[in-house]
Each structure stands twice: as structure tokens, then as C-alpha cells.
Structure 1
């Protein structure tokens, strides 16, 4: 016994030693002090754009590659520093600049024509090479001219598509205003005898949609248990916006890139850089709500015949709001401002939206890797829709007895496929927000992150959680023990810690072994998925009433309904702000928070009219078209109330169980159901 104890202690000491050596090896990269860092040419530079064009100058945004003769100490230092951390350091062997050619490079123009592509290349090559050689002793070559602006080409000319989109937006606004004004003239008698066409028009009434938005929480006990989901949606949306706002700095053109590189060692930034995993929260919620609604409606459960309606319902509700945002990004967004970087960031978005708009509306844009700039956040819209289709096929077509086996196999496949990406493509263990990835938005590690087949596990986890939870509720199972309450209080901190797990792979000069990267890629999404599933169980079971009361604060009901609008709108601000910069930005955590708060507030403000005029209007219109009109029954009928209630349930079964749950936003019309139920209760009182 003593011998075994001694061996166990020795083994423990050996494990600790191995971990210590491993961590030391991972920290073997080096950093430069500020004095040494300043010896390198600055990564970014911007001449005065407005002054350049004011005097009829030519302004070009370029990429300059550096080189030197063998043995050059500065070039050696640049290469060593760049290679010492491929995750935390920029590639300092090339520079990004905005240059006023007619001012900075006027000595190299001579008799050359600045409007000629070949001449401007020669001018910039000579100018950059001589300037950098004189100051740093390095050779320079302009390898890419992104674009050159003059006073005449500063602003794009409007085309036919711009005016078509403007006409459509004006028509949407006109219909909403007309519907709202007409709605204000109606009384109870007129409301009871409306034609189908008028009912379609009233779907666009902003007054009615506002009532839906601010309506009190549902009194249905089943829905009341899920009110905390609105808090989770809001918190996750805030985290999502924070991660995207960070791109304003990380896409480049900052005056302190060294501070940005060092920020990878600070915990409050590490949460942001590892924040891509936050989307798994939405996948878990989506799968959970889908199955929980289906299981909770045993008497009126949709069948296989209802699948086409469910799919059409989802498409018709998601696509129109997205189409409006993409149309604006493809047209009028480019006229909102100008600047030296406007065409670099905003025109790229416009180009991709005009080329790839159809892929977003067909929900396949996440598999088109060339589409890098157009509403990049909607990869999740596509992935969620693709996984949703798989989920309803599993639910409706697989017999209950075989469902466990089939779901288990699909779950296993969902873990293996990400591993195969690592094996065949030699990728990182997870998508890492490296400076170079954010600088170019071109990184092969991004693609496994957005593919739906790599994100199916958390969706299935949400489905299984809902299925088991509903069974526990029917069996009277409760989780009121001390351990359950402690675990419930720990869930939020545990989920926050999950955002720090990616730090393990912020290696310096060490390449993580292939088998570790494969294992991590296949499982790391579940590290956040399991706590999120536990939070849903705790929420429905009422394990911790204090936390539940906080999460059920009524304001989160409103922000939860706005989640999809916020999701669609917020990312537009990132290229607009980054493109409107006229000077180098200063990277600092306080500045980041200022941008974060400003964009969050502005997005929520804009999301309200967007929700009222587009999203909610489309929701009501789709409901009207897909759900048959409720028959008017005589109050003299003794079964009047019962028939109304039964019809509402039957009519809503497609609506509720086929709900669109995207980005954590359950887009089914629960508020309208609440109003119908309330009307039935009032009518019952009158009859009695």
C-alpha cells in the first residue's frame, strides 16, 4: 500500500513537471521593448486625405513589402519577431499605407502621368524604396495598389440599382405609414368585419407592432419558464457586438500596434479574442426551443405534412429583413461618408453584397469562401437554417425508438468532421483572432468555424436537453438539492471561463501536436454548450429563484424580441467606422468600450423602427398567409369558448413549433397568441 502511494506521488510530481516544462516552452517566444520596436518601420501610415484632394492631388492606398541583403540586422529582427508568435504578432515584413502621391512623392513624378497605372506604380516604387532605405536601410517594393482617389473619383456615381433600392425602401415606409394611419381610424365594429386585403395592410401597422413589442410576458406557465432566455439572448448579443466592434482596431491602421499585440496577454482582451464561441449559445437555444415546443404540444403536434409550411414559414420570415439590410449595404451605404480607407472597407462590402446577395437569401453563404465582406455575421443565419432542416428531418422522419441512435450518430459525425479539417488542412485547434487574420480577413481557419456541419453538435445538445427536460417535468423530477443550487450559481462564471480556454492555443513558437488540435476542434464547442444546456434546465426547473427573477426582468423581453434586428444591423457599423477614419486610430480598452457602447445604443435605437416596419410586419403577414382565418362562432354555442381555444391551438401549432429560432431569437408570434388568449378569456367572462 505504501509502495503504491509513493508511486502515485511520484507520478503526480512527474505530471506537474511535464506541465511546467510545457508551459515554459509555450512562453518561449520573445517580445521587444518599445525602443527596439520603434526601430522597425511603422506598420501603418496615412497622409492627410482631405488636404490632398483639396489641391487636386492623387491619393493611393498601397501595400509595401520589405526586404534587405542577407545579414541585415534590422531585417533579421523583423523576421524573428514576426515568426516568434504567429498568433500575437503582426507580419512586420509588409506595410499598409495611404499616400498622397502628388505631395509625398512629388520629387519622383517628373514627366510621368499619375493617372496612368504603370506610371503610378513606378512613382510609388521609387518613392517608397528611397524613403524607407534612407531611414531604415531596407529595400521596399509596392506589391499592391488597392486604389487611387482623386477629387473626381472620391465619391461613386449613383446607378440604377441605387434608385431601385431607394424606391423599395420608400414604398415600405409609405405602406407602414398608411397602415398606421388607417389603423387609427378603426373601431371595434370595423375590426370585426375586415376584408383579407385590409388585414394584410394592417400587418404593417406600426401601432399594432409596437403593442406586440411591448406586450407583457406570456401568462402561459410553459412560456413563463422560458422568459430568462431573453436575458441570455441580450447578453450574448452584447458579447457578439463587442467582438465585432474590435475589428475597427484590429483590421489595422492604428498608431500603436505594439499595444495591440501585447493585449493578447491581458485577460479582459482574451475574453474578446476567444469570443467566437459565443455563437454556440444560440445553437443550443435554437435546438432547445424547437424540441421543447414540439414536445409540449402533444395534442396539436405538427406532422410530416406540416414540414413544407414550417420551412416556408422560416424562409419567408428570415429572408425579407435580411434582404433589406443587404440591399442597403450594396447601395446607399457607400454614400454615407468618405475617407482614405472608405473604399478599402466599405466598397469591399458593397462589391461582395452585389455579387453574393443571392447566397445569403438562399442561406448558403457560409460555404462560399470568396464572400468575405458582405454582412459577414449572417454565416450563422445560414448555418442555423441548415442545421434546422436536419433537425426537423430527424424529429419527423425518424421513429422515436430509433431517434436516440440516429441523433447519437449525427452527433458523433458532428464531432468527427471538424477533426478531419484539422487533419487534412493542418489548421489550428480553433479559429484564432490573430492580428494577421483580422488585418486581411483571409484565414483558412475561418472556414471550419462557419460550416454548419461543424456546428451541429450544440444544436443537437439543445434538442436532447429539451427532450429530457420535458420527460423530467412529466415524471415530476425536481432539482432543488444543494448541489443543484450551487451548480446553478456557478453556471455564468463557468461560461465566462469558457471564453478563456482558447488561450491554451495562443502559442508562441510552439506548434500544438496534431492529435491535440483535432481533439480540441471536435469538442471545444461543447465546453460552452453543456453549461448553456444546464442553464436552460435550471431556468425551467426554477433551481435558483434569485437568478431567475433577475433574468426575467421585463425589459429583456423587449430586447430579446429585437435580437434578430440587432444581429442584422450592428455589423454594418464596423466597416463604416473603420472606413471613415482619416487618421490612425489609437488602440485602448477604454476607446473600445466607447465604441462598443455607442454602437450598441445606436443599433438598438435603429432596430426599433426596423423591427416595427420590417421584421414584425413580415412576421404578421406570414402568419396571416399560412394560418387559416379563425372562424367566427356564435356566443350562443355552448362550446363557443372551447372551440375558439382549440382552433387557436390548432392554428398556432405550425407557428409555435415551426418557430424560427435564429441567433437566439424565437421569431414565432407569441405576443399575438397572448392577445388572442386574452380576448378569449374576456369573451368567456362576458358569456358567463
Structure 2
């Protein structure tokens, strides 16, 4: 009684109980109880004490008990963590070496320029008496040094195919007149100075649609908002507030955040089609397959496209996958909260499914890094799109027929699944039937195919379409109405079973059609202030790191929630502050991952493909 602290070392335990007989609380519900007990208590002791407290009036079932004070988990003994540390150290050394070599090379090159231009100035003064400055010339050469790398990243990168598609249009450029070995060029690809300048470049390539940048960047903010709300709802202490906010009209924009993913599918299909046709029109693809038959040439193109994309995406993806496994294993052992998914179990078993981009073919309970379903679907769509595009070069009508068949099949399949499962898009949870509708490629293909059609259209017209004013007005009106209806149209409405199936089938494609008008209008000088917003240079850097931001932002969400020692209390001010913090943290990490893995890989692929073409 006289001691300030208890006469034993305390321990903390989390008891998960299912209450079956809850006359006051309504139907059976699960509760989590935090227990402070002597640290010598084992998990089985807590279970026995809980069962011993049962009375005839109580009816409950113990679902589990956990304790962060009893875990023996050590990061330094974790094999995945050791691999991550090794990779991190190796990449850090390459970044330091590449940056140092780049800075030294720039200085040496500028000194040589000053000497040459000083000699030239003396000759000029002796003949004409006129002097000149070498600063502008030196600056232009320095810019030329950046051009090879900046071109690789100045074209928008994103969640979808990113640079892997857009780099089809890039010509490898020599940084200077001085010949560098391939190893020197590969080392320079890790230069943080050059890569950061490329990411933050306020210019875009000639083969780029600038409005794509803004559409991608703003959609990423929408994705982060939706995922932040999911985490907040799971780890809040006033969960009943969710029932209140879900009945507000404006909150429907959060509940319907799945359409942001359709925007990325649309962008992905658009870039694949637009850039492939432009590259083929310049004759660059034919150089790679001269002297072979049509089937062999198509096969070369296909494996070249798929292989380039695989290498391009997998480097940062594999690193973040390891981070997810380690982070969730650590949090599962040390957090007072239960993890939202079983990544600490699934990732060691099924990581190979992620690397092969086939994880959406398996049950969601076995999925590692749940949000990676998008990367799997997008890669599968890319494979389908590559086949259609390769065929379309010589057999356009046949390729168009294949695309139409895929589109109708996706609509019919989605409608059948929704109808047979009685799916109500206005009443069910947004992630209802996740394993049957939400993440399956055969239900999400529509927006990608719409993007491919728009890409071909803008290529064929060279982004020069004369649209009458009345058509422009009707187009913007129809697009705005479609977007608003898809976001808010089902609020407090009831659909029949057939109407619900039709809505589930066509709504995602309808969203892509609305996005299609936005891109067509902005690309043909009919976008007005919308085009100015989406093409704002300030959005370019955020657009270029969207892929990495998508990879890392759920980790930020989870670490914030599970590292807390108390639930999140939801209020409008708290949610706004939390969301802004999640955005900033996610993009800081995205820039780091992009500079460390994404940008170097893109540049190395460009260098190796250039050397191979020689």
C-alpha cells in the first residue's frame, strides 16, 4: 500500500470476446478488452481466469488473447529484415557513388568548357575586339547532361504502366560529347541530383498529354482519402459515428472512391494505346524486327513490352513488399490492436503470386499486400492490351473485334455475378463481394478498354479535333452529370435486382467514358479552366511518383493506427489533420522510393536498350 508502483512487473493483454447474450446491446458483437495483469501471466492464464469469471447470466466466447509484453520477436533476427537492410545499404552506396560521380563529372565538364571558351574568346577579341559570356553555354550543356535522364522521367509516371509504356517514345541521348562506358552510365543512373531534377521538371515530353498528370495526381489524393477513412473506421473509439456520416450526401464521394481506381485503369489503357501507335508510326518498333515474319515480329514486340514493364515495376514493388511483411509482423507482435489483414502470415507464403502479378486469381484471405490487387489487374490488362495493339497494327478490324468481345464479356460477367449474389451497390459495403467483383480482372476490364479506344482516337487525329461549340457544351454537360450521378445518384434510393446488376456492370465503364471526354476535350483545346488545372506544372512531380505513393501510403495508414496506444477519436478536425498528414508522409516516402529504385531502373533500362540497339 505504501509503494508507488505495484510490487510486480505489469503486463498488458488484449482479450477478444464474442458476446452472445446481449439483451442491452442487441445482436451478438465482438469486443476487445485491454487487461493490465502481472507480467508473469501467460496467455493460457488469462483464458482460464476469463472462463472462471463466467456466471449463469453471462454467455460469451473467447476468440483469442494477445500480449505485446510477452512477444519474443526481434527485428534483427528476421531474415526478411536482414535482406531489406542489405538491399538498403547497397542502394544507398550506389546513390552516394552515383551522385558524387555525377557532381564530379559536371564540374570537370564545365571546367573544360570554360577553358575552350576562354581560348575562343581570346581569338575572338584579337580579331574583332568583342567578348562574350560562357555562362549560358555552360548552362545549356549542363541541361543537356540532364536530358537523357530527365526525358525518362519527364513523361508522366503513374500507378499503371508508368514509364514502361511512355519510354517507348524516348530516344537515348548522349549526355555530352565525351564517350562514357556503359558501367559509368549505369552508375550515373543512381544520381539523386539528376533524378530529382527529372522528377521535378516543369516540362513534359512532346508525346505526353499534360492533362493526364493532373488527372493522375488528383485521383491519387482520392485513393489516399478512401484508404485513410477505412483505417480510421476500423481503429476508432466512436465507430457509431460511421453510421451517421454515411448518411450524409457529401460522404458518398468517399464511399464511391472505387471510381478513382477506374480512373487509373483508364489512364493505363490510354497510355498503352496512344504511345504504342505513336511509336509504331515513327518506325522505331520495325527497327527491332527487321527481316522476320509477322508472327515472330509480334512475338518480339509482346515479350519486349511485357519484359520491360515487369522490370520497370517490380524493383520498387518487391522492396515495398518486404517492408510490408516486416512491418506487419512487427506490429502484429507489438501493437495493442489486431492487424487489418494477415500480411505477416500470407506474405512469407504467397509473395511469389505478387511478383507474378497473379494474386487476384486466389482467395482474398490468402492475399499479401491487399492493395496490390490493382497492380495484378493492371498487368493482366496490359498483357491483353499488348496483344490487341500488336494485332491492330496490321489487322485493325480484327483487333477491334477482339476488343469488343472483351468489353461485352466483362459487362456480362459482372452483371451475372452481381445478380446471382444479389449485390446492391447502393446498400452494401463498398468492398462487399471483394473476392467476386471488386478485385477480379474480368469485372474491371471495361475502363481499360475505353482508355485504349481514346488513345487510338487521339493518335489518329493527332489531338486535333474540330468540335462544334454545341457538342462541347453537350459533352461537358453529359460528363459532369455522369460523374455526379455515379457519386451521388444512388443516395437514399432502392434498385431492383436487375437494375442493381446492370448498374454494377456498366457504372465503372460509364465513369471511364466521362474521363474520356475530359481528356479528349483538354487535348483538343476544348478544356478551358479544367485543362489549366489538370495541366498545372505544380502537379507534375506528384504525378511522376504516383506509383510509389500508391505502394507506400497504406503502410503509413497502418503504422499510424497500430503504433498508437489508444483508438482514434473521429471528429471532422481530427480527420482533416490526419488525412493531410497521411498525404505528406506518403509522398515523402514516395519520393525516396522513386529516387532509390524507380528512377534508376528506368534510366538503366533506357541505357541498356540503347546499347543493345547499337
- TM-score normalised according to structure 2 size: 0.78
1:461 aligns with 2:450: yes
Can you give the 5+ residue segments of structure 2 that lack an aligned partner in the other structure?
Answer: 113-175, 286-296
* Structure-1 residue corresponding to 2:218: 235
Q: Are 1:247 and 1:574, in contact at CA under 8 Å, matched by a contact in 2?
A: no
Distance in 2, Cα, partners of 1:390 & 1:159: 39
| 1:470-509 equivalences in 2 (<5 Å) | 470-473=459-462, 477-485=465-473, 487-488=475-476, 491=479, 494-503=482-491
| 1:21-36 equivalences in 2 (<5 Å) | none
1:564 aligns with 2:526: no
Change in Cα spacing, 1:259 to 1:248, as seen in structure 2 (3 Å) is same
> How many angstroms does 1:528 deviate by?
1.1
| Matching residue within 44, 48, 51 for 1:125 | 51
> How many angstroms does 1:164 deviate by?
2.2
Distance in 2, Cα, partners of 1:324 & 1:54: 43
> How many angstroms does 1:490 deviate by?
7.1
> How many angstroms does 1:493 deviate by?
7.0
| 1:472-551 equivalences in 2 (<5 Å) | 472-473=461-462, 477-485=465-473, 487-488=475-476, 491=479, 494-503=482-491, 513-551=496-534
Q: Are 1:57 and 1:102, in contact at CA under 8 Å, matched by a contact in 2?
A: yes
| Matching residue within 169, 178, 185 for 1:199 | 185
SS in structure 2 opposite 1:60?
A: strand
- The C-alpha deviation readout for 1:406-445, integer Å capped at 9, x for no partner, is 21111100101112222444444489436xx7xxxxx534
Q: Are 1:56 and 1:151, in contact at CA under 8 Å, matched by a contact in 2?
A: no
| 1:169-318 equivalences in 2 (<5 Å) | 169-186=88-105, 187-188=108-109, 192-218=178-204, 220=206, 222-223=207-208, 226-252=209-235, 254-297=236-279, 298-300=281-283, 302=285, 304=298, 305-318=300-313
Distance in 2, Cα, partners of 1:313 & 1:258: 48
Change in Cα spacing, 1:444 to 1:606, as seen in structure 2 (3 Å) is same
Change in Cα spacing, 1:146 to 1:450, as seen in structure 2 (3 Å) is farther
Q: Are 1:366 and 1:382, in contact at CA under 8 Å, matched by a contact in 2?
A: yes
Distance in 2, Cα, partners of 1:212 & 1:418: 41
Instruction: Name which of structure 1's ranges 398-407 and 309-318 shifts more when overlaid on structure 2.
Output: 398-407
Q: Are 1:180 and 1:207, in contact at CA under 8 Å, matched by a contact in 2?
A: yes
- The C-alpha deviation readout for 1:119-167, integer Å capped at 9, x for no partner, is 432322344x45xx8xxxx633133105234355486673233222211
Q: Are 2:364 and 2:435, in contact at CA under 8 Å, matched by a contact in 1?
A: no
| Matching residue within 50, 57, 80 for 1:161 | 80
Distance in 2, Cα, partners of 1:213 & 1:257: 40
Instruction: Name which of structure 1's ranges 567-576 and 353-362 shifts more when overlaid on structure 2.
Output: 353-362
> How many angstroms does 1:260 deviate by?
1.6
* Structure-2 residue corresponding to 1:36: none
1:115 aligns with 2:103: no
Can you give the 5+ residue segments of structure 1 that lack an aligned partner in the other structure?
Answer: 1-50, 80-92, 107-112, 438-442, 632-688
* Structure-1 residue corresponding to 2:357: 363
Aligned length: 528
1:96 aligns with 2:69: no
SS in structure 2 opposite 1:67?
A: coil
SS in structure 1 opposite 2:246?
A: helix
> RMSD value over aligned CA atoms?
3.1
Distance in 2, Cα, partners of 1:502 & 1:622: 47
Q: Are 1:98 and 1:340, in contact at CA under 8 Å, matched by a contact in 2?
A: no
Q: Are 1:428 and 1:445, in contact at CA under 8 Å, matched by a contact in 2?
A: no
> How many angstroms does 1:209 deviate by?
1.0
Change in Cα spacing, 1:251 to 1:139, as seen in structure 2 (3 Å) is same
Q: Are 2:18 and 2:31, in contact at CA under 8 Å, matched by a contact in 1?
A: yes
* Structure-2 residue corresponding to 1:452: 441
> How many angstroms does 1:516 deviate by?
2.4
> How many angstroms does 1:553 deviate by?
1.3
* Structure-2 residue corresponding to 1:678: none
* Structure-2 residue corresponding to 1:385: 379
Distance in 2, Cα, partners of 1:566 & 1:606: 7
> How many angstroms does 1:98 deviate by?
3.1
Change in Cα spacing, 1:287 to 1:499, as seen in structure 2 (3 Å) is same
